[in-house]
Structure 1
Amino acid sequence: MADSSAEEKVALFALLAERPHKMSWSAIASEVALRGSAADMWNELHPPTFEGMNDEGGRLSDAQSQLDEWASGDFDVVTVLDSGYPTSLREIYDLPPVLFTKGELQADVVGVSVVGSRKASDPGVQIAANLARGLVDRGISVISGLAAGIDAAAHTAAIDAGGRPIGVIGTGIDLAYPAANRDLHARVAEAGALISQFFPGAPPRRQHFPMRNAVMSGIGRASIVVEASEHSGARIQARLAVEHGRPVILTNLVVDATEWGRALIGRPGVHVASSTADAMSIVEDVLSSDMRSDRTLPVFSLSG
């Protein structure tokens, strides 16, 4: 798939603004990807005039103005129609239509999420770092949400080990949340890729973070939940993992501390790891299974 043309990008953003038939953005993304063209969908809804595409409501002009403004930013705009859009992300039902990125986002990335509680314990931080280093040693990108605690520990260790981190954030690509992780955002972008599905300038909102987790799930091939509380956002990620049909690896810290973690034991694709070596063995089995199959099967990430 080649990169989308300027006309296709304009049509896509016009569709996102219009939301025809009250379609969700993910539904629009799926329809556009299926057709291979946003302009085709726009023209079906708005029959062209003699002058070309129909812009009676001005949405095409607005989209062009927005894209022109973003063109001067220090980030890239990757749509579901572009060859640089992650292949694994196309396989989930709630795929985002557009990603704003800094750094180098590889379409065929092989990554595993290392995520968990923002209020991490010292053992949890150490486990996250050990897991990140183990993934880097195997040439696997470390995916996380750049939150405080487990996320930050995993990304810091990955960078220090010379790996390629992938940070998926719940704000616009031009913002850092929490602010204390601003330098880490920059380091992640320099060493790997920083990704947001939200428009530049979008502040952190409660509903953004489950959406962020879905993207982490879609890009990843496996997920390791290091540490989480009973009411952690990791519960949301676990639900999404089940919906996506993708594996989750829970450490003993999660199983021992949460009822929801224990409730997951025995569910298809859910594994419990008692050590770093155990977790790495599970990851290797998952990746080997993917390589033996005819399809790429991304796995799931949990964020605390």
Structure 2
Amino acid sequence: MANRREQAALLLALRDSERGWGDVTSAVEEAGSALSVLESLLTPDQPTLDHVVPEVSGQLDLAEKEIESWETEGIHLVTVLDEQYPVQLLMVHQRPPFLTCRGFLDPADQFGIAVVGSRNASARGLHITREIATTLAKHDITVFSGLATGIDTAAHRAVVDAGGRTVSVVGTGLRRCYPAENADLQREIARTGAVLSQFWPDTGPAKHHFPMRNAVMSGCSVATVVVEAGEHSGTRIQARVALEHGRHVFLLPEVVSGTSWGRDMADRPNTTVLEGPDHLLRVLDELRAGVPDLIDL
């Protein structure tokens, strides 16, 4: 695990640099040290961090105290330099420089499946979601979803009720809950699984956060199941990004018949039109047989 000073240096570099977060992330990974990158971001007439100016040293101290205050609230920081950072997420270009986590990360999460769909879900969509999520939970497969109303909520709730493990990837900071009515569910998930965010803890909901959240959810999982979605649903973003990540996408027949993007996607490699939970397990077994190096714990 990266030491606290390295974590503090990463936060400081992200806040104070004019470079984008993606550039900072790449630089930190290449250098293997956020302190080294922070040093390079200082103006040439400033000393290096070996003899760091009091102002920067003080800022690092404050950043360390901030991380410690998060810890007292049950919010854990995981950076790209930490061994706990989700291994599947490291493979995608949208990987954030850090995640905050309530709950705990588990190595088995790298074989998890994302189950997503419409906020305005039908009764049939909710029923199918519960069947799929419960089946995955009973086979000890981590279920990722986004804590939104509708399909996401049904997936999380089914896994919790089945005694399985679910991970919620949210579009706010961890001091917030969106939607507010899922606050109790979010706390339940944190007790037995994990709630992950790529945003500062106080960050509220914003429209552009949710596509970013979807990319992280796809990046953390080996496949995405789209249960129900409309023509202009944000869920299609995750399906598209999952294919870009080289991950498998499962589409329910209703998605294929009801949307033009679903019909187009159904004909693409790495896509399966799903007949039900048992079909999902069979295809997952086939995928695992083809990539044994990704499934041997």
TM-score, with length taken from structure 1: 0.89
Deviations 1:96-125 (A, max 9, x none): 111111111124522101110011111101
Tell me, in whole angstroms, the C-alpha distance in 1 between the residues paired with 2:54 and 2:236.
Answer: 44
Aligned to 2:23: 27
Aligned partners of 2:135 and 2:91: how far apart in 1? 27
Quick check: 1:43–1:54 contact (8 Å CA) kept in 2? no
Compute the displacement of 1:61 (Å): 5.3
Match for residue 254 of structure 2? 253
Q: Distance in 2 between matches of 1:175 and 1:130?
A: 29
How far 1:68 sits from its partner (Å)?
4.4
Partner of 2:189, secondary structure, is helix
> What's 2:289 paired with?
288
The one-letter code sitting in structure 2 at the alignment partner of 1:218 is G
**Mapped contact 1:166–1:192 kept (Cα < 8 A):** yes
Q: Is the 8 A contact 1:136 1:161 kept in 2?
A: yes
Aligned to 1:299: none
Alignment of 1:118-137 (within 5 A): 118-137=119-138
Q: Distance in 2 between matches of 1:283 and 1:209?
A: 27
Name the counterpart of 1:72. 72
- Correspondence for 1:164: 165
* Structure 1 residue 87 corresponds to structure 2 residue 83: no
- Counterpart contact for 1:89–1:219, Cα < 8 Å: yes
Distance 2:294 2:232 in 1: 35
1:53 aligns with 2:49: no
Structure 1 residue matching 2:251: 3-state secondary structure: strand
Matched, 1:175 2:176: yes
C-alpha separation in 1, matches of 2:79 and 2:49: 28
Q: Aligned runs of 1:1-304 on 2, under 5 Å? A: 3-20=1-18, 22=19, 24-46=20-42, 48-49=47-48, 52-54=51-53, 60=60, 63-109=63-109, 110-291=111-292, 294=293
How many Å separate the matches in 1 of 2:51 and 2:101? 32
Query: Whole-Å Cα distance in 2 between the matches of residues 54 and 104 of structure 1?
Result: 37
Deviates more, 1:93-102 or 1:263-272: 263-272
Gaps of 5+ in 2: none
Q: Secondary structure at the match of 1:114?
A: strand
User: How many equivalent pairs are there?
Assistant: 290
Cα distance change of structure 1 residues 55 and 93 upon mapping to structure 2, 3 Å threshold: farther
Report % sequence identity.
42
RMSD after superposition: 2.0
Partners of 1:55 and 1:61 within 8 A in 2: no
C-alpha separation between the residues in 2 aligned to 1:68 and 1:175?
19
Measure, in 2, the Cα distance between the counterparts of 1:50 and 1:98: 22
Relative contact order, higher structure (CA 8 A, sep 6+): 1
Question: Retained in 2: the 8 A contact 1:222–1:286?
Answer: no
> 1:295/1:283 Cα in 2 relative to 1: closer, same or farther (>3 Å)?
closer
Q: String of CA shifts for 1:221-277, please: whole Å, max 9, x gaps.
A: 111000001110012112212321221110111111111111112212111112222
Contact 2:39 2:48 in 1 (8 A): no
Does structure 2 conserve the Cα–Cα contact (< 8 Å) formed by 1:158 and 1:165? yes
**Counterpart of 1:75 in structure 2: which amino acid?**
I
Residues 223, 242 of structure 2: 8 Å contact kept: no
Contact 1:114/1:143 (CA < 8 Å) preserved in 2? yes
- Please say if residues 10 and 35 of structure 2, whose CA atoms lie closer than 8 Å, have aligned partners that are also in contact: yes
- Larger helix percent: 2
